[in-house]
Amino acid sequence: MPKILIIYNAKSGHKQVKFSAYCEALTKGGAEIEVRTIAPRFNLKDLLADAGNFERVVVAGGDGTVSAAAGLLQNTGMPIVAYPGGTASLLALNLGMPANAEALAEITLNGRAVPTDLGEIEYLHYSRRDNFRRRFLRRKVEGKRDKIYFSVMAGCGFSAQMVSRAQSLKPQWGQAAYWLSAFLSLFPRRAEFHLLMDGREVVTEGLGILIINFEKIQFDLKLVGKAHARDGKVEIMIIKSRSLFGLIPVLWAAICERLGFPRHHVPEVMETYQTSEIEIASLPSLRLQYDGEILKKTGRFKVRVCRGAAMFVYGAEELTKVTNPGAGQNQETH
């Protein structure tokens, strides 16, 4: 009888799959399940302290919660199931998780786990007291160096502003909250960026930067055509337009590709790079977002790809693309 640990966040959307029906399907499939509910103040590390006693870990929450769990369990070989419990559930979408309780339970029990890249963000964190000393007393403060992990994408500038505004809109608008938030931010502030990657420095300007590990966003659209989270690299996308109207060609290209037409490059509105490690400095300091979670403003942070660090369980269709290179573009197997 397989033992399944479920980390459950009751405050997440849970609109795609009924959680009680999912647990019932797991039990009928012969699994012994243990559900640990995330409290208002919780320590995820404590909830996962004995994860090695289970065959698989299911994280039923938002993408940020799944990524945090993957960061804690990285390089342990523990299979992780991304339950589509968040508002957007982009990780579950990219992994091919079905929005059906019985089908999801079947994949949870029998789906194959594949080594998948995690993104690691290293940044300086300041307490309120430290911020007061820095800003008002003009004292030098070291700050605490923290690391967080993302699975789908991270970013600074426009993307963080959009995610931040969407937080209050999600209860009423669901996934549409992100699109509505973007509409409310038509003219975001531009910033100057200094990028250090692969031994070279790039200086540029734009509305923000996206760091993409998995390619799909809402409605199965792809922002870029070659990010597949198993090549040890992330796509760096610098938004160069002066307003969000300039992103219409990018969105249109994604829609055309979704409909089966060739993707056309639009270099005039974005700058793209591919790297395994990057240091980003911005002027002014900008907020960061990772998998829908918001961090405070920072003027400098580093991103590193932890290749194959997470063992994510894939749905049947996405698994075919991973194990059969001919089924997808530039896919690698592990």
Neighbour tally for 105: CB within 10 Å = 26
Q: How many whole angstroms separate alpha carbon 90 and alpha carbon 62?
A: 9
pLDDT at residue number 250: 63
Owning domain of residue 209: 119-308
Domain assignment of residue 292, yes or no: yes
Q: What are phi and psi of 243, to 5 degrees?
A: -150, 170
**12 phi, psi to nearest 5 deg:** -75, 170
Cα separation, 234 vs 225, whole angstroms? 12
Supply the DSSP symbol for 261: P
Cα(278)–Cα(296) distance, integer angstroms: 19
Residue 121's pLDDT is what?
97
Blockwise average pLDDT, block size 10, the chain, 334 residues: 92 77 96 92 92 97 94 97 86 92 96 96 78 66 83 88 66 58 67 92 92 78 68 90 61 60 63 93 91 87 96 90 58 38
292: left (phi over 0), alpha (psi -120 to 50) or beta: left
Residues 137, 139, 145: CA angle, nearest 5 degrees: 125
User: For residue 148, what are its two tokens?
Assistant: 């967080």
- Say if CB 82 and CB 107 are below 8 A apart: no
Handedness of CA 123, 126, 132, 134 (dihedral sign): negative
What is the predicted pLDDT for the residue at 216?
82
Whether 27 and 98 map to the same domain: the answer is yes
For residues 32 and 178, membership in a common domain is answered with no
List, in sequence order, every residue forming a beta bridge with 60; answer none if it has no partner: 8, 83
Distances (CA, A) of 263 to 47, 81, 226, 259, 309: 43, 31, 11, 10, 31
In one letter, which amino acid is 204? T
Give a yes or no: residue 322 inside a domain: no
Examine the domain organization and report whether 57 and 78 are in the same domain.
yes
Number of structural domains in the chain: 2
Burial class (CB in 10 A: 0-12, 13-18, 19+), 199: exposed
The reported pLDDT for the residue numbered 184 is 60
Q: Does residue 316 lie in a domain region?
A: no
The CATH code of the domain that includes 267 is 2.60.200.40
User: 327 lies in a domain?
Assistant: no
Are residue 8 and residue 24 in the same domain, yes or no? yes
**Which amino acid type is present at position 253?**
A
Residue count of the chain: 334
Q: How far is the C-alpha of 148 from the C-alpha of 44, rounded, in Å?
A: 13
CATH number for the domain harbouring residue 15: 3.40.50.10330
Comparing CA positions, the residue from 232, 230, 231 lying closest to residue 115 is: 230
Residue 319 lies in a domain: no
The DSSP bridge pattern shows strands 153-157 and 293-313 to be unpaired
Q: Which two tokens mark 188?
A: 């975001």
- pLDDT number for residue 329: 46
Task: State whether 54 and 161 are in the same domain.
Answer: no
